[in-house]
Structure 1
Amino acid sequence: MCLVTCIHAAEQTEEAKELPVVRKCCPSGQNMTFVMKDGNNKTACARSSLTFQPDFHKANETHIFSYDSNVYETIVGNPCLYESYKLEPDVYSKDEFYLLVNGSLFVPYSTQYLLGTRDFCMETFWSPANPAGVTLPLVCFTTPLEEAKTSASLIVYATGLLISVPFLLITACVYLLITELRDTHGKALACHTICLALAFTCLAATQLAGHAFPVVACTIMAYLIQFSFVSCFFWLNVMCFDIFLNARRHLTTPSPVTRRSMRRRFAWYCAYAILLPVLLLVITITMDLSPAVPSTYLKPNFGVKGCWFKTDEAALPYFYGPVAVILLSNLIIFFLTSRLFAMHDELKDPLDPTHSDFSTSDDWVRLQAVLGQPLSSQERTSSPPREAPSNISQRLKKYKKISLRTFLNYKW
């Protein structure tokens, strides 16, 4: 008697092992419905008369075929931690799916083509073509929708940054290879664009794959981003100051400039725009790695929350503060340069016909802002022209020459 009972129990166990498995989103007698909650479309379980009838399939190495079974094992409960989306193959052909007897879901056109019972659940939905309802899977999102939207925007931003990099490098090559452009201002501009290209490359890399970086690599990328961006702003400050010096020399006491003096000036520029960001980087690394520094707003905490400073307060003394000081100094230099042009215009004879070429300080400042270019070597060593064009033809030729020079020097 005991032997017969044991054999019968074993047969039931084997039969249970062969039963298909399916995860149902809602308990028996209930189905998934969509309700409005806080202005958003949410899912909820509600009583329904729709019939839950999943279609099972078996698969071998070459084929997938139907497996008819009215008896199956049900796992009840929605496994999704976040939102979910419904696969509708009747509406979208690429939503094609196959529910396998082991409870998995095969989605041939999806990136993740095989989903486990923790990645989806099946539920019956009303359909005008089938009054009894159609059983479809709800696939779980792996991240919140807000985070997914943020990730998509980061990809767009990173793509834009990477598109800018080759053009920045081309700009640097043009100013370094063309002799006429390779003056002090041109070399400063080349250094500025190289730093900007490095910053954009590192920033795009962290936006695209920062989550996969180990902590050490993430911290190193943060150091590179900080140094390259700060150095970029320092080179921008150098260019503003160089324009101011050129304008003052031309408008006050025009004098020839030797190559030796220009090389010496550029060496000072390099020391300013490279050594100061390096010093700031050393201070940042010391504050970040020193165990004696408490975890307050003075500690950068790179790598704790992404490949950047942990908080904006932590970035204030190491990034935002220095950049704000540089931008303020650029604004002061702008007003000083504008004052030089205004004083120059006041000293000029208003009846002088050449006064209309670049008559106001606004014209000069606008030209320098667009070109970002110092005065040419001929203009450095000569005073402004005093002879007016004798006729309309000569005046047109003069303006054509000015327009051509503006076009050739235009770089952004």
Structure 2
Amino acid sequence: MLRIFVFNLLLICPLVKASISCDFIDTVNITGGYKDLNQNFIYKSEVYPHGTYQEFSYVEDFFKTRVSVDPHIRGCICNFKPCIRLCCQGDDKNIPHCSESTKFTVLNEDSEEKTINLEDNKYGVLVGRSCKDMFEVENQTPWKLQKNGSLQSSDGYFDYNKFCFGISNESVAVPYACFEEDDMSAHHRHETELIVHTVGMLISIPFLIITFFIYALIPELRNLHGKSLMCYILALILVNSLLLYAKHNNIEKFEALVLYYSIFLTFFWMNVLCYDIWRVSRSNISNRSLRGEQKTFLKYCLYGFGCPLLITVIAVLIDHFKPFHNDYHPLFGQFGLMHHNKKTKAIYVNIPILILTLVNVVLFVDTSRRVWSALDSGIDKKSDKRKEMFRKRFSICLRLFIIMGVIWLMESISFFSTDYSERTSFKHTFFQITDFISCIQGLLIFIVCISDKRTRKLITKRCRSPKSSTDDGITYEADFENNDESLNVMVY
């Protein structure tokens, strides 16, 4: 009889506030469960051994502040299974991704796409931010979820209670990491880079638009090379606008595909520009019919717009049918532009761009050699004339080099260099400078385009006489054998 009384007393009496074997932040509310004869606490089929549960009359906010609440029982769920922390479930204005979904997609430690279902009880689910100051692990930063629930990224290693997941409406996990003192410099670096890139693009886009309208409104500049340059500038406006948007928003699949297409659109039109300059440098034709120029421009359009479309379609088909290992699938829009895996970015972005850029450099070198040879063959021996020739020679080569995208070549070198987290301070500074120069490419192109005396005269003429027109049916290109001054026409 005494044994029955003691047993019932244990069931109905409040739990003794013994020490618990985990931090408060690693506990979940298990009120509503019951104790068995072995002093284990049972809640939703989970067994919490003695010492892993306790009654609390408070909750802790961000590890520090205690807030009084009604007494409730909490258990150390992370003592016997890996835990995943959700930043929130429902509506939290401080976290942009706050879905009520119980399923979401992550990359596991083998770089494979994995769907986690929180209802299958494989993970302990903790809800609420684990610290007050958190920053979003950027889309461009590769990260993987380890088997023990921790997060590995190029920003560092985060224990399960040092980060949390926001879940987008598309059921994609967006990690937020705690802002620790040791991470201050890394976080400030990311913030500084974001500001620099944003400012650079905001400077670049208006100058690109101005340059486009200069060529659109001045008929004398709308020769074959001028129209090709206009297409290149349009591609730059598109890609810079999308990149600026992606810097501050999580892009979805359609937006990622448009961005992917626009990136290649830029490089293929850059290739068209370089080929056109190279073609003119090899030609001795001083004039061409308008119809012939239109046919050539049509071919340029088929190449400049068609090749990026073909590459995008192939990538979309691979992404849809997934014929290879997951490391080789783009996964557009699920983790920013595409899969964080370095192999994937190399295959689908960096290697094709590097090939195009190297082709452009070869064309540039050969064009420069031909320009140099043409100038030498017709040079006057007078000192002043020689100085003027060298000035033009340098000016033309510089313009070609900028237009052909040496900046983008540096981007490829940046990608294939040491991992971001392993870079020295010098490398960080160097690539930050090249990144900023890349961002203000629109300003540089504007300066290149108006630095030519002939172009400035045409702008002035257009402003004074808005109805100026071109010669009927004839456009002029460089004649390297006969006229030194026509070299400037080649660039534009």
> Normalising by structure 2, what TM-score?
0.46
Q: Which residue of 2 aligns with 1:141?
A: 133
Q: Which residue of 2 aligns with 1:333?
A: 363
Correspondence list, 1:70-149, <5 A? 75=58, 77=60, 79-80=61-62, 140-143=132-135, 144-145=178-179, 146=183, 149=188
Deviation digits for residues 344-402 of structure 1 (CA, Å, limit 9, x no counterpart): 2443466367554314854542365574799995663696459xxxxxxxxxxxxxxx8
Contact map agreement 1:158 1:208 (CA 8 A) in 2: no
Task: Tell me whether 1:295 sits opposite 2:326 in the alignment.
Answer: yes
Q: Which residue of 2 aligns with 1:224?
A: 258
CA gap 1:286/1:383 in 2 versus in 1, 3 angstroms: same
1-structure distance, mates of 2:62, 2:205:
41
CA gap 1:382/1:231 in 2 versus in 1, 3 angstroms: closer
1-structure distance, mates of 2:335, 2:69:
40
Query: 5+ unaligned residues in a row in structure 2: which ranges?
Result: 1-23, 25-55, 71-92, 95-127, 136-177, 403-447, 456-474
Tell me the CA shift for residue 315 of structure 1.
1.6
Deviation digits for residues 89-138 of structure 1 (CA, Å, limit 9, x no counterpart): xxxxxxxxxx99989xxxxxxx97xxxxx789xxxxxxxxxxxxxxxxxx
Aligned counterpart for 1:244 among listed residues 275, 278, 302: 278
Please state whether the residue corresponding to 1:309 is helix, strand or coil.
coil
Contact map agreement 1:155 1:207 (CA 8 A) in 2: no
Contact map agreement 2:274 2:363 (CA 8 A) in 1: yes
Q: Which residue of 1 aligns with 2:465?
A: none
Q: Which residue of 2 aligns with 1:366?
A: 398
Q: Which residue of 2 aligns with 1:131?
A: none
Q: Which residue of 2 aligns with 1:161?
A: 201
CA gap 1:312/1:372 in 2 versus in 1, 3 angstroms: farther
Tell me the CA shift for residue 225 of structure 1.
1.2
Q: Which residue of 1 aligns with 2:338?
A: 308
Correspondence list, 1:13-412, <5 A? 75=58, 77=60, 79-80=61-62, 140-143=132-135, 144-145=178-179, 146=183, 149=188, 150=190, 153-154=193-194, 156-210=196-250, 218-249=252-283, 253-296=284-327, 298-348=328-378, 351=381, 354-359=385-390, 361-362=393-394, 364-366=396-398, 368-369=400-401, 371=448, 380=478, 384=482
Contact map agreement 2:215 2:222 (CA 8 A) in 1: yes
CA gap 1:410/1:264 in 2 versus in 1, 3 angstroms: closer
CA gap 1:304/1:328 in 2 versus in 1, 3 angstroms: same
CA gap 1:287/1:372 in 2 versus in 1, 3 angstroms: farther
Higher radius of gyration, 1 or 2: 1
Please state whether the residue corresponding to 2:326 is helix, strand or coil.
coil
Identity of aligned residues (%): 23
Please state whether the residue corresponding to 2:294 is helix, strand or coil.
helix
Deviation digits for residues 287-324 of structure 1 (CA, Å, limit 9, x no counterpart): 1111433313x211223322333322102222111111
Deviation digits for residues 186-212 of structure 1 (CA, Å, limit 9, x no counterpart): 1111111111111122222222121xx
Task: Give the aligned CA root-mean-square deviation in angstroms.
Answer: 4.2
> Normalising by structure 1, what TM-score?
0.54
* Counterpart residue type for residue 329 of structure 2: K
* Counterpart residue type for residue 308 of structure 2: P
> Across the two proteins, how many residue pairs are aligned to each other?
269
CA gap 1:350/1:201 in 2 versus in 1, 3 angstroms: closer
Tell me the CA shift for residue 263 of structure 1.
1.1
2-structure distance, mates of 1:363, 1:156:
29
Deviation digits for residues 242-265 of structure 1 (CA, Å, limit 9, x no counterpart): 11222232xxx3432221121111
2-structure distance, mates of 1:200, 1:178:
25
Contact map agreement 1:304 1:310 (CA 8 A) in 2: no
Query: 5+ unaligned residues in a row in structure 1: which ranges?
Result: 1-24, 26-72, 87-98, 104-110, 113-117, 121-138, 387-401
Deviation digits for residues 315-342 of structure 1 (CA, Å, limit 9, x no counterpart): 2222111111111111111111122123
Please state whether the residue corresponding to 2:297 is helix, strand or coil.
helix
CA gap 1:162/1:247 in 2 versus in 1, 3 angstroms: same
1-structure distance, mates of 2:395, 2:134:
57
CA gap 1:164/1:351 in 2 versus in 1, 3 angstroms: closer
Contact map agreement 2:212 2:233 (CA 8 A) in 1: yes
2-structure distance, mates of 1:278, 1:173:
26
Contact map agreement 1:358 1:364 (CA 8 A) in 2: no
2-structure distance, mates of 1:295, 1:225:
22
CA gap 1:177/1:226 in 2 versus in 1, 3 angstroms: same
Q: Which residue of 1 aligns with 2:471?
A: none
Contact map agreement 1:119 1:140 (CA 8 A) in 2: yes
1-structure distance, mates of 2:400, 2:195:
35
* Counterpart residue type for residue 209 of structure 1: N
Deviation digits for residues 123-161 of structure 1 (CA, Å, limit 9, x no counterpart): xxxxxxxxxxxxxxxx82244224864356435523542
* Counterpart residue type for residue 279 of structure 2: L
2-structure distance, mates of 1:119, 1:226:
34
2-structure distance, mates of 1:151, 1:367:
33
Please state whether the residue corresponding to 1:257 is helix, strand or coil.
strand
Please state whether the residue corresponding to 2:389 is helix, strand or coil.
coil
Range with greater deviation from structure 2 (162-171 or 330-339): 162-171
Contact map agreement 1:158 1:205 (CA 8 A) in 2: no
Contact map agreement 2:225 2:276 (CA 8 A) in 1: yes
1-structure distance, mates of 2:227, 2:302:
14
Tell me the CA shift for residue 182 of structure 1.
1.1
Please state whether the residue corresponding to 1:293 is helix, strand or coil.
coil
Range with greater deviation from structure 2 (186-195 or 151-160): 151-160
